Amino acid sequence: MSQSSIMPGLRPTLGFTVVYLSLVVLIPLSTLVFQSFQLNWEDYVHIITNQRVLSSFRVSFSTALVAALIASFFGFIVAWVLVRYEFFGKRFFHALIDFPFALPTAVAGIVLATIFQPSGFLGKLLIDVFGVQVAFKPLGIVMALIFISIPFVVRTVEPVLLEFEASMEEAASSLGATRLQVFNKIIFPNVFPALLTGFALAFARGVGEYGSVIFIAGNLPYVSEIVPLLIVTKLEQFDITGATAIALTMLVISFVLLLLINMLQYWVRKRSGQL
Amino acid sequence: MSILLSNISKKFGAFAALDNINLEIPEGELVALLGPSGCGKTTLLRIIAGLERADQGRVLISGQDRTHHDVSQRGIGFVFQHYALFRHMTVFENVAFGLRVKPRKDRPSNDVITKKVHALLELVQLDWLHDRYPDQLSGGQRQRIALARALAVEPSVLLLDEPFGALDASVRKDLRQWLRNLHHDLNVTSIFVTHDQEEAMEVASQVVVLNHGRIEQQGSPSAIYDQPANAFVSGFIGQTNVFDLEHHDTEWLQAAGLSTLHQQGKIVHVRPHDIVIEKSSAGSDAFVILKDWQHLGALIRIELVKSEANRPSASVYAEMPNEQFKRLQLHKGDKVDLRIRHAHWFH
């Protein structure tokens, strides 16, 4: 907090940031922690190790992880196409990408459930052709989460691809590199940190997603029940302490995972000379 | 290797960037493509490199038609104006890149790569920076690394796009000299693009002057300077005084010693050092007034105006060595005689 700092306004802006964070993030979260203090350790362990709760954790985190991986892959391709090529209807396509941001997630959920249910348009097709049922299975959850999280990946990767110096590619080509080598050795390493950010955002969103999932998931305990739904169920039964215990656990796991992703990102940037 | 360009044309939309370029560059030369911005010099360089496709025409490198070869197959080294170093790789890896991406059967072993990269880094005198990242280097250092990287694949032709354009003046001067020496040692056919005529004259063994997508003149720096092919070249290379016979007093020029008997054109270009001034003697009618002067190191640039006070006229510039000027003991506002020693005529 040097007084001679060239950028003025550290104190007011930092003050604002702290107040804002406290009001919007820290106070609600600490309430969650205090609420959970009403439980003793044995009760807490008992709630958390309940088979149904454990299953829901497994479903939530594994579907979010798979969905974030798939969304990263396709999101990267979408960003690539949007940045690299000119085609008819590009602007329309651009607007379409942000659609999941604006759409009420419940609407998305209902639409997805309608087309993927066994009698639905796509659901029937998939069962007939591949024998795969999407709705009411973890696969359905993955489907919904991909839909919700793709824009996070596209919008984080896109600016980095846009700013990418074309001359770096040209330099690599002039040194004899093939197109594939240019992509693997030059383009991808430069975009990877942004892709990792997109992945983290997609994953975080996937873990917390509720509205779009519950319709397509079918919410069968032990199979396709996600943690947020379990929390809501507990709350509806006025089991507030049970809900807080699960919520707190989820909070801690999410925090640790995001921290790990951030550390990975730091490591990647450091290794590639960007820090 | 020699380079032969025949009938190269390139259009960007309706704009003709290059218009039927024919150019032969013999082996081992250091050639400058010189011209004002937008004259098509960079486009021409990129076509030679294969980074751009010509609409028509052929590119031959050492006698072989490379018109349809991809940039990665042409065996050229390209140095970009803004260096285009791989920012996620160390200096060492940047230079090694061209060797590492070779097909497995041609790829040298790791030991050979290490040796070669260090040798190249020593050549550009930057081996001590081998484990740094490009962001940690100065502009001049980056440019030298870019050059080392291009040389790593032993290109038959080295192409440099405004290699000193983004550097500050003192670094630029050093690098010019250094590039000249390097070319002397390696003797690889090199072409560099520049808009700075001084740089072209200082570094290149051959200068190609381009304007509006056409070649105006090609030749050695001295030929270009002493026998400019047209008014554009004369005006672009170095300082010059332009007299248009339709607007200037022919008698006045005659009095200044310029023979207008055999008019070889309508426009006269006179280099500042071809103008001699003396203290005005009585009865001379060619006198002009000394308006001001500037020191250019060893030379003095003298600004002269014609004495007709009621009509503002363009300044005429003369240059002479410092010593000589001091000996004349002139002051601002003095009347001086002016004599033109040599002039170029253009239509």
The distance of Cα B289 from the centroid of its chain, to the nearest Å, equals 34
Reported residue count of chain A is 275
Rounded distance, CA B71 to CA A174, Å? 5
Give the per-residue pLDDT at A168: 92
Inform me whether the pLDDT recorded for B248 exceeds 80: no
Give the per-residue pLDDT at A5: 67
Q: What is the ipTM of this complex?
A: 0.81
Rounded distance, CA B95 to CA B116, Å? 9
| Per-residue pLDDT tens digits for B7-56 | 899 988 888 889 889 999 998 899 999 999 888 899 999 999 999 999 99
- In the three-class reduction of DSSP (H, G, I as helix; E, B as strand; rest coil), residue B329 is classed as coil
pLDDT band at A267 (very low <50, low <70, confident <90, very high): confident
Q: Find the CB nearest B88 among A175, A178, A273.
A: A273
Give the per-residue pLDDT at A1: 47
The distance of Cα A128 from the centroid of its chain, to the nearest Å, equals 31
3-state helix vs strand vs coil in chain B, percent to 5: 30, 30, 40
Q: Does B115 touch chain A (CB under 8 A)?
A: no
pLDDT band at A155 (very low <50, low <70, confident <90, very high): very high
DSSP B290: E
As a whole number, the mean pLDDT across chain B is 86
Q: Mean pLDDT, to the nearest integer, of B209-222?
A: 92
Q: Does B150 touch chain A (CB under 8 A)?
A: yes
Selection from B187, B246, B191, B184 nearest residue B218 by Cα: B191
Distances (CA, A) of B24 to A167, B7, B19, B219, B225: 27, 11, 16, 11, 20
Give the per-residue pLDDT at A182: 94
Q: Does B117 touch chain A (CB under 8 A)?
A: no
The distance of Cα B23 from the centroid of its chain, to the nearest Å, equals 17
Are the Cβ atoms of A175 and B72 closer than 8 angstroms? yes
Give the per-residue pLDDT at B262: 64
Inform me whether the pLDDT recorded for A202 exceeds 90: yes
Inform me whether the pLDDT recorded for B311 exceeds 60: no
Query: Token pair for residue B197?
Result: 């005529």
Please name the residue that has the structure tokens 């490199």. Answer: B49
Please name the residue that has the structure tokens 């291009």. Answer: B150
pLDDT band at B239 (very low <50, low <70, confident <90, very high): confident
Give the per-residue pLDDT at B309: 52
Q: Find the CB nearest B87 among A170, A174, A273.
A: A273
Determine the residue type at A110. Answer: I
| Per-residue pLDDT tens digits for B121-175 | 998 889 999 999 998 899 889 999 999 999 998 898 999 999 888 788 888 888 8
As a whole number, the mean pLDDT across chain A is 88
Give me the percent of chain B exceeding a pLDDT of 90.
33
Q: Which residue of B has its CA nearest to A190?
A: B88
Rounded distance, CA B92 to CA B152, Å? 11
CB contact at 8 A, A127 and A118: yes
**Touching B: A residues 189-228, CB under 8 Å:** 189-190
Q: Mean pLDDT, to the nearest integer, of B293-297?
A: 86
Contacts of A229 (CB under 8 A, 6+ apart): A56, A210, A213, A214, A217, A219
Give the helix/strand (H/E) hosting B85: none
Inform me whether the pLDDT recorded for B87 exceeds 80: yes
Rounded distance, CA A116 to CA A128, Å? 12
The distance of Cα B219 from the centroid of its chain, to the nearest Å, equals 12
Determine the residue type at B178. Answer: W
Selection from A140, A96, A105, A106 nearest residue A122 by Cα: A140
Q: Does A172 touch chain B (CB under 8 A)?
A: yes
Q: How many CB atoms lie within 10 A of CB B71?
A: 20
Q: Does A178 touch chain B (CB under 8 A)?
A: yes
Query: Token pair for residue B310?
Result: 């009621």
pTM, rounded to two decimals: 0.81
- To 5 degrees, how large is the angle CA B56–CA B59–CA B64? 135
Give the per-residue pLDDT at A173: 93
Are the Cβ atoms of B149 and A173 closer than 8 angstroms? no
Give the per-residue pLDDT at B249: 66
Distances (CA, A) of B126 to B116, B119, B176, B182: 14, 10, 17, 14
User: Which residues make beta-bridge pairs with B210?
Assistant: B215
Inform me whether the pLDDT recorded for B2 exceeds 90: no
Q: Find the CB nearest A176 among B72, B88, B133.
A: B72
Contacts of B171 (CB under 8 A, 6+ apart): B138, B139, B140, B164
CA distance B100 to chain A (A): 9
Q: Which residue of B has its CA nearest to A272?
A: B88
| Residue among B101, B143, B147, B161 with most chain A CBs within 10 A, to mutate | B101
Q: Which residue of B has its CA nearest to A270?
A: B88
Give the per-residue pLDDT at B313: 66
